[in-house]
Amino acid sequence: MSSPRGAVRRRGRALGLVSLGLGVAQVVAPKAVRRLSGVADSTTSKAVVPLVGARELVHAAGLLAGRRPGPWAWTRVAGDAMDLAGLAVALTGRGARRGRLLGATGVVLGITVLDVLVARQATRAKGATP
């Protein structure tokens, strides 16, 4: 049977792999990510999507290389809040595909729930005895 800390580490690794996939996609194929998510092809979105991808790669590095996923999971929660704010702004933009944007927002909300759960579990497990 695994310890609570071991379970939290595995969940942190899973989040790290999610961040890695998201980050690589946003850095390597930002146009495809914009199109898939419904974000308009604006000058701002062309600059922001790769930056968000770089942020995801930083999360991935911390979660995959570190032994303590808690702080990195909380940085993902903060990133999720920024992403949700960006999606809200994108919903008001010209050329936005609102249906796709609403779908992307739903996905980010789901990921946010997972991030919060893992971050809370990691915070609790930190106080557990090894």
Question: Comparing 6-10, 17-21, 53-57, 74-78, which segment has the lowest mean pLDDT?
Answer: 6-10
What is the structure's pLDDT at 2? Answer: 60
Q: What is the pLDDT of residue 7?
A: 83
SS3 call for 124: helix
Q: Which own/partner pairs from 87-96 qualify as long-range (CB within 8 Å, at least 24 positions apart)?
A: 87/37, 90/38, 90/39, 90/40, 90/45, 93/39, 93/40, 93/42, 94/40, 95/40, 95/41, 95/42, 96/38, 96/39, 96/40
The domain limits of the chain are 4-126
pLDDT tens, 90-122? 998 888 899 999 999 999 999 999 999 999 998
Does position 128 have pLDDT exceeding 90, yes or no? no
Interval 14-58: pLDDT, tens: 999 999 999 999 999 999 999 999 998 889 999 999 999 999 999
Q: Is the pLDDT of residue 130 over 60?
A: no
pLDDT tops 80 at residue 73: yes
